[in-house]
């Protein structure tokens, strides 16, 4: 029974901004190798949930267990936890002052305290994986959106995280650049990377996910396997939401 371990157990997660309750009693678990897509209308709380998992937002209530330890406990070292849970943002957030290579090396060197040579090898290994190794000397502002996002993925991978969180990684991209980023994510999924992906790319989500979560108004309205959600959704809200993506 314990063969596949829970990396994350989220229970009764609540997040309010002032008296606006954005997340209400969220429960789910993330097992090693899971690829979980999180879908739902804009404003339903998807980003807030990912940001809570990475503690970029501090949850108002509930718990997030990471290998059994509650990381919402104020005594937890947040930075150490974040090393293991990487995040890829809609707006890339590449470090504007650093080259592509340094973007991927600064974490391993300054945070993981690896020596320069090892960090460089690591950075190049992951830049190769995302097909950006030729651009190591470029600055972020010199790259296209798709290239930036691939570098951002390499930067997250260079920390060798256990889980990667993606918050609409292709939403800021021109349509012709979406594919290159999704391809990289597909490869990661095949290799067994544990991922939580907030996305509006339904065909991609259907294809890649081991599990799908549909959120509406701060709650998990429905969840299940990719087939269950995309082919026979049970709840009205899920059906209504999915009917907007008829090209599935």
Identify the residue among 41, 65, 106, 172 touching other proteins (CB under 8 A).
106
The residue (of 44 and 72) whose beta carbon lies closer to other proteins is: 72
The minimum distance between CB 127 and ligand ADP, in angstroms, equals 29
The minimum distance between CB 76 and ligand ADP, in angstroms, equals 22
Identify the residue among 120, 168, 180, 221 touching other proteins (CB under 8 A).
120
Q: Which two tokens stand for residue 175?
A: 């349509």
CB of 25 closer than 8 Å to CB of 62: yes
Stretch that binds other proteins, among 31-39, 63-71, 151-159, 234-242 (CB under 8 A): 151-159
> Which residues have CB under 8 Å from 196's CB, separation 6+?
30, 36, 38, 50, 53, 163, 164, 165, 166
* Closest by CA position to 196, among listed 207, 212, 181, 180: 212
Burial (CB count <10 Å: 0-12, 13-18, 19+), residue 174: exposed
The minimum distance between CB 67 and other proteins, in angstroms, equals 16
The residue (of 103 and 238) whose beta carbon lies closer to other proteins is: 103
Q: Site map for Mg ion, 30-69, x if CB under 5 A?
A: -----------------x----------------------
The minimum distance between CB 148 and ligand ADP, in angstroms, equals 20
Identify the residue among 18, 19, 96, 244 touching other proteins (CB under 8 A).
96
The residue (of 41 and 138) whose beta carbon lies closer to Mg ion is: 41
Stretch that binds other proteins, among 22-30, 71-79, 179-187, 201-209 (CB under 8 A): 71-79
> Which residues have CB under 8 Å from 84's CB, separation 6+?
66, 159, 161, 162, 163
Residue bearing tokens 């008296």: 19
Q: In whole angstroms, give the CA distance from residue 138 to residue 72.
A: 38
Identify the residue among 6, 29, 63, 93 touching other proteins (CB under 8 A).
93
Binding site for other proteins (CB under 8 A): 54, 56, 58, 74, 78-83, 86-87, 89, 91-98, 106-107, 110-112, 120, 124, 128, 133-139, 142, 152, 155-156, 159
Binding site for Mg ion (CB under 5 A): 47
């Amino acid at each position: 029974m314990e063969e596949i371990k829970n990396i994350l157990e989220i229970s009764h997660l609540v997040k309010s901004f002032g008296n606006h309750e954005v997340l209400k009693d969220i429960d789910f678990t993330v097992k090693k190798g899971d690829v979980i897509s999180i879908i739902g209308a804009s404003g339903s709380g998807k980003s807030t949930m990912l940001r809570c998992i990475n503690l970029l937002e501090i949850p108002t209530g509930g718990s997030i267990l990471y290998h059994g330890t509650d990381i919402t406990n104020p005594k937890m070292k947040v930075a150490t936890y974040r090393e293991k849970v990487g995040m890829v943002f809609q707006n890339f957030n590449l470090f504007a002052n650093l080259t592509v290579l340094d973007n991927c090396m600064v974490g391993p060197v300054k945070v993981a305290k690896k020596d320069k040579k090892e960090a460089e090898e690591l950075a190049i290994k992951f830049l190769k994986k995302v097909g950006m190794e030729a651009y190591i000397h470029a600055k972020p502002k010199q790259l296209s959106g798709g290239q930036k996002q691939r570098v951002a993925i390499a930067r997250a991978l260079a920390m060798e995280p256990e889980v990667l969180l993606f918050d609409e990684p292709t939403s800021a991209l021109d349509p012709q650049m979406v594919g290159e980023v999704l391809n990289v994510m597909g490869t990661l999924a095949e290799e067994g990377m544990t991922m939580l992906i907030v996305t509006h790319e339904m065909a991609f989500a259907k294809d890649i996910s081991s599990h799908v979560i549909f959120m509406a108004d701060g709650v998990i309205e429905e969840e299940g396997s990719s087939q269950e959600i995309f082919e026979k959704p049970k709840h009205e809200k899920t059906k209504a939401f999915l009917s907007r993506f008829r090209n599935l």
